[in-house]
Amino acid sequence: MAGELAALVARLETAVDRLEKAGVPGLAGGARSGNASSQTPDEECTVPFVLAYDDLLSGPFKTFFDCSMKIGGDVASIAKMVQSTFINQRAFLVTASKSQRPLDTELPQVLEPTGKKIQEVIAFRESKRQSPFFNHLSAISESIPGLSWVAVTPAPAPYVKEMGDSAVFYTNRVLKEYREKDKIHVEWVQNWNNVFKELQEYVKKHHTTGLSWNTRGGNAMANLKPAPANCGVPPPPPPGIPPPPPMVKLEPKVAAADDGRSALFDSINKGTAITSGLKKVTDDMKTHKNPSLREGPKPFVKQSSPPNRASPHRDGPTGPPKFALEGKKWFIEYQSDKPDLIVKDGKMDQSIYIFRCQNVVVQIKGKVNSVILDSCKKSAVVFENLVSSAEVVNCQSCKVQVMGVMPTISIEKTDGCQVYLSKDSLKTEIVTAKSTEMNILIPKDDGDFVECPVPEQFKTVINGFSLTTTCSEKAG
């Protein structure tokens, strides 16, 4: 009899353990049974993929969040919204760990909270188009849909990678703007890219073919709860009460012994004799008797200015040469007199950044995302195909040649640029600003090129309450 009772107790304990792991409320002991309906970060959770997601929040994402707080402004605001989105997804993963996969008709309702958070981030970016951090906001807005991986089957990890790569265009702009001004923005780009890199590895490891549901769990609609307010990255502590200002000892101001007022009153009391102290105006001081005094001021003569010093980017390379692939970006910097630089096996998700080079030729093999030529002199770049665009900024006497397809090329603040097109790139869009001596070379059937100059002078006329601008062509 005692043996049967012991076996029965053992079976009951095993059943209770299984139900606790499945997330059935009311079966856990202690303080947990009294508040089983509220899921907090402090609550014990033995599901591996939830614990791994907590590591992502407390590791790479916290580093990104702290960096955003240092930048402040709109970057800090959108970082808080992204934090709320990640927290909401953490609560959704907890629900999935104790629920069966819902029906196809119920799945949109289960995913609705995550979708709303993503839309809030995108709407914030659209409302801040005049923000000085618009490139930061756009980088986040372009990649935040990657959190929709919970609805992707059968392979959500490549989707996360694709969404992370969609921010490359704007992160390149951030790097180009702040690389020489503020390193915190460079770290911000690296931290944001690292968040999606770790998220991809997390999804690939724990949700290889789709979101992992609990086949023995309950109903997802019944278990769905909003994310707790105290989940995720802890906010910074509130500042304390500022100390009172130091006490300043005030001393009465002592009037000066003789401040001139007594002399003023004495002169006023003289009456008509007050004019005796005035000086007589002689004829040479009268304008109607001295025409030379009626001459106006002499015209302003501009002083000869000293020769302008060359701006920093016009000088030769000043830093250590660099030719390296960091993440998904090739950095070619401070190279000089090298006509044989080659980037082999370029990939569609990689971008090429060429900075402060002089007398170099860079060849790019394969199809890459974008090419940026920044502050270079007498340099050239030759590539096969581009996914996005090519940019030439702050350069002198540079050449760009495309062998395949190039959707767009942008030339800005550049003196002298030759662009050689191929037969496959005749639909390229050319955008220019503040540049001179620009020529587009169009190929002919015999292999030769026709040189077409880009207009630099324009004529603007007033048309009612608007302006009409046309190219100003010179004869001869």
pLDDT digits (tens, 9 = 90+) for 157-180: 898 888 888 888 999 999 988 988
pLDDT score, position 34: 35
Q: Are 94 and 133 in contact (CB under 8 A)?
A: no
**Residue 454: which of 467, 446, 428 has the closest Cα?**
428
What tokens appear for 161 in the block? Answer: 């990678």
**Distance in angstroms (rounded) separating the CA atoms of residues 74 and 84:** 16
**Distance in angstroms (rounded) separating the CA atoms of residues 258 and 260:** 6
pLDDT score, position 390: 95
Compute the C-alpha angle 16/17/22, nearest 5°. Answer: 95
pLDDT score, position 24: 43
**Distance in angstroms (rounded) separating the CA atoms of residues 121 and 115:** 10
What SS3 class is residue 272? helix
Q: How many C-beta neighbours within 10 Å does residue 251 have?
A: 6
Query: Mean pLDDT: which of 30-34, 112-116, 122-126, 213-217 is highest?
Result: 122-126
Owner of token pair 């709320």:
84
Mean pLDDT within 191-203: 91
Determine how β-strand 429-433 pairs with β-strand 380-386: unpaired
**Residue 43's pLDDT band (cuts 50, 70, 90):** very low
pLDDT score, position 198: 92
Helix (H) or strand (E) holding 196: helix 183-206
Question: What residue spans in the chain does CATH classification 1.25.40.330 cover?
Answer: 46-218
pLDDT score, position 451: 93
Lowest mean pLDDT among 25-34, 267-276, 337-346, 408-417: 25-34
Higher-confidence position of 310 and 11:
11
Q: Which amino acid is at 120?
A: E
Q: Are 366 and 387 in contact (CB under 8 A)?
A: no
**Residue 41's pLDDT band (cuts 50, 70, 90):** very low
**Distance in angstroms (rounded) separating the CA atoms of residues 221 and 92:** 11
**Distance in angstroms (rounded) separating the CA atoms of residues 321 and 301:** 47
Higher-confidence position of 466 and 270:
466
| 46-218 CATH, one of 3.40.50.720, 3.40.190.10, 1.25.40.80, 1.25.40.330 | 1.25.40.330
What tokens appear for 98 in the block? Answer: 């104790």
Q: CB under 8 Å to 413, separation ≥6 — which residues?
A: 393, 394, 433, 434, 435
Mean pLDDT within 251-279: 65
pLDDT score, position 94: 86
As its CATH architecture, domain 322-471 has 3 Solenoid (2.160)
What tokens appear for 200 in the block? Answer: 């991809």
Instruction: Write the pLDDT tens digit of every residue in 392-429.
Output: 999 999 999 999 999 999 999 999 999 999 999 999 99
**Residue 27's pLDDT band (cuts 50, 70, 90):** very low
Mean pLDDT within 356-382: 94
What tokens appear for 448 in the block? Answer: 């030769």
Q: Are 115 and 88 in contact (CB under 8 A)?
A: no
- pLDDT of 311 over the 50 cut: no
Question: What residue spans in the chain does CATH classification 2.160.20.70 cover?
Answer: 322-471
pLDDT > 70 fraction of the chain, expressed in percent and rounded: 75
pLDDT score, position 46: 72
Alpha carbon of 349 to those of 165, 187, 296, 311: distances in Å? 7, 20, 69, 34
Mean pLDDT within 108-137: 88
For the chain, how big is the Rg over CA atoms in Å? 36
Q: How many C-beta neighbours within 10 Å does residue 451 have?
A: 10
Higher-confidence position of 94 and 313:
94
DSSP letter (8 states) at residue 338: E
What SS3 class is residue 319? coil
Q: What pTM was estimated for this model as a whole?
A: 0.44
Cis status, amide bond into 154, omega within 30 of 0: yes
| Residue 131 backbone zone (phi > 0: left; psi -120 to 50: alpha; other: beta) | beta
Q: Which residues pair with 441 in a beta bridge?
A: 420, 451
- pLDDT of 48 over the 70 cut: yes
